[in-house]
Amino acid sequence: MLRKCLIVLPLLLLSVLAEEKDVLELTDDTFESELERHENTLVMFYAPWCGHCKRLKPEYAKAAELLIGNEPPITLAKVDCTEAGKETCNKFSVNGYPTLKIFEGNEFRSDYNGPREAPGIVKYMKSQVGPASKELTSVEAHKAFLETDEVTVIGYFEKDDSPLSAAYHSVSKKLREKVRFGHSSAKNVLDKVSHKNTIVLYRPKILHNKFEDDIVVYKGSDSISDVNEFISKNFYGIAGLRTRDNMQDFKNPLVVAYYNVDYVKNAKGTNYWRNRIIKIAKDFPEYSFAIASKDDFQHELNDFGIDYAKGDKPVILARDAKNQKFVLKDEFSMDTFEAFLKDLQTGALEPYLKSEPIPESNTGNVKIAVAKNFDDIVTNNGKDTLIEFYAPWCGHCKKLAPVYDELGEKLADEDIEIVKFDATANDVPAPYEVRGFPTLYWASKDAKDSPVKYEGGRELDDFIKYIAKHSTDELKGYDRKGKALKPRTDEL
């Protein structure tokens, strides 16, 4: 048994080493000279103890392997900021890990702001190097360029300096990170495809369906805005594939079907449901539609009160233009989906509100607001209000808690409401925005629709001075500077 373990261990070590064999290791001594030898390099500045770095490394190594043989060449490299790369990391102001930067030769070009998964890294880096649009000089090159699972846009121009060509190339530079562009002025290509002086969007075979065109031909003007709108409008089709990398492209009002989306292992099953979504969605053009992997977006399902989506059928969730949330409660079918969309159109659906139960008793000096009682406790209470949006696990929130409680006691006799709201267990209502914890807002009683984010200190005196200064009516116990007033003799 021991011998078997000794044999397996070296094999495992070899496997780990092999994963990073295509990533160039750089040090202070080799950084400049090695980068000079490579056209385009993505450099990861890391620390061995960094958890985010450890999670990124296998994806980074896989991306390096996938980029072998790319034209133009793209190299992936790494620098250990704790050992032999300290000076280099200081030179490039690296103060967090991992930090990724793009170099042309040994010249810094830009920070890397792309995905952190292998396919996304590859796509992003391919979009960053070389021309934004690939020139297709032959029928063979054109055919090879279309052999892809990505949406592709090609411009066909008899003269590559025409106004439409100029607009096309301008748009390609703006959208290069998202869209795969090509262009051709070769006569044999133009004759072969029967397209001249226009732009064509090609959907890959895996996305073909009988409800929308596989090929979309541009029929607009020479303006940059028209070309840009054509690509943006048609890029995802009726129901686009929504991923963590492109999720920001899908705007409200949005309807998303969550299920086992996997175009690598199960393209047929993925399209089975997508086609059914599209068949109904095509009649509701006022909404954006998307399909998404329920495993990748479990956090969104949780936001709609769904802890686990069982079965293979899609779960349908929607947000309207006001960002209100709606859930298809019936099991998915084309009939239930269509009925859901019609009810969504007419405003017949009740929005889903993620909320804790309304507290049975709420008589404390610090009132507890939840999503279901927010209007009563905050919006319509007729008082100036300070609201803390917190998370139970947040260390800063825990530190603030006794100060906040004391503030409630100090102002118990004032026409001021001190309120706390668990933003992890309740939907945060508009117009409040919470992106970190704790977040505090001041909402004066005459302007509840325009709350002001509190940016002051978090000691008791800081809060009292702020409230004394900004309260609609002067406090009974403090002057406008927050100084405690002596009680009148008739109050003694």
378 and 451 housed in the same domain = yes
Question: Are 219 and 243 contained in the same domain?
Answer: no
Strands 288-293 and 254-259, by their bridges, are parallel
What are the distances in angstroms from CA 434 to CA 13, 351, 428, 452? 45, 20, 8, 12
**Other Cβ atoms within 10 Å of 385 Cβ, number:** 22
370 and 478 in a single domain? The answer is yes
Can you tell me the distance from the alpha carbon of 346 to that of 341, in angstroms, rounded to the nearest whole number? Answer: 9
For this structure, is 5 an active site residue? no
Catalytic: 397? yes
Residue 490 falls within a domain, yes or no? no
Asked about 53 being catalytic, the answer comes back as: yes
* Residue 160 in domain: yes
Q: How many CA atoms lie within 13 A of 33 on its CB side?
A: 4
Burial class, 166, CB count within 10 angstroms (exposed 0-12 / middle 13-18 / buried 19+): middle
**Model pLDDT, residue 228:** 97
Annotation marks residue 394 as catalytic: yes
Q: Please compute, for residue 101, the number of CA atoms within 13 A of its CA located in the half-sphere on the CB side.
A: 22
224 within domain boundaries: yes
> Does residue 12 fall inside a structural domain?
no
Last residue of a domain, one of 129, 147, 182: 129
What is d(CA 164, CA 219) in angstroms, rounded to the nearest whole number? 11
Question: In this predicted structure, what is the pLDDT of residue 455?
Answer: 95
pLDDT at 222: 95
CATH number at residue 407: 3.40.30.10
Domain count, the chain: 4
What is the rounded CA–CA span in Å between residue 24 and residue 412? 64
Same domain, 394 and 472: yes
Q: What is the pLDDT of residue 133?
A: 94
Report how far residue 84's alpha carbon sits from residue 47's, in angstroms, rounded to the nearest whole number. Answer: 11
Q: What pLDDT shows up at residue 160?
A: 85
Compute the distance between CA of residue 253 and CA of residue 251 in angstroms, rounded to an integer.
6
Residue 222 shares a structural domain with residue 251:
no
Does a structural domain hold residue 5?
no
How many helical (H) and strand (E) elements, i.e. helices and strands, does the chain have?
15, 20
Q: Is the residue at 433 inside a domain?
A: yes
| Whether residue 154 sits in one domain with residue 78 | no
Q: Which of 284, 313, 346 is the last residue of a domain?
A: 346
The whole-angstrom distance between residue 452's C-alpha and the CA centroid of its chain comes to 26
Asked if the bond preceding 58 is cis, omega within 30° of 0, the reply is no
Domain that holds residue 218: 134-235
Same domain, residue pair 93 and 179: no
Residues 43 and 66 in one domain: yes
Kindly state whether residues 43 and 69 are assigned to the same domain: yes
Rounded mean pLDDT for each run of 10 residues along the chain, 492 residues in total: 40 45 95 95 95 94 94 94 94 94 92 90 88 94 95 95 95 91 96 94 96 96 96 97 91 97 94 98 97 95 90 96 94 98 97 95 96 96 97 96 97 97 94 94 96 96 97 95 78 52
Do residues 403 and 446 both lie within one domain? Answer: yes
Residue 490: the pLDDT is 54
CA distance linking residue 172 with residue 232, whole number of Å: 12
CA distance 420 to 367: 6
pLDDT of the residue at 123: 87
Cα–Cα distance, 245 to 416 (Å, whole number): 44
Please say which residue of 129, 162, 180 terminates a domain.
129
Residues 174 and 220 in one domain: yes
| Same domain for 374 and 335 | no
Global pTM value: 0.73
CA distance 201 to 206: 15
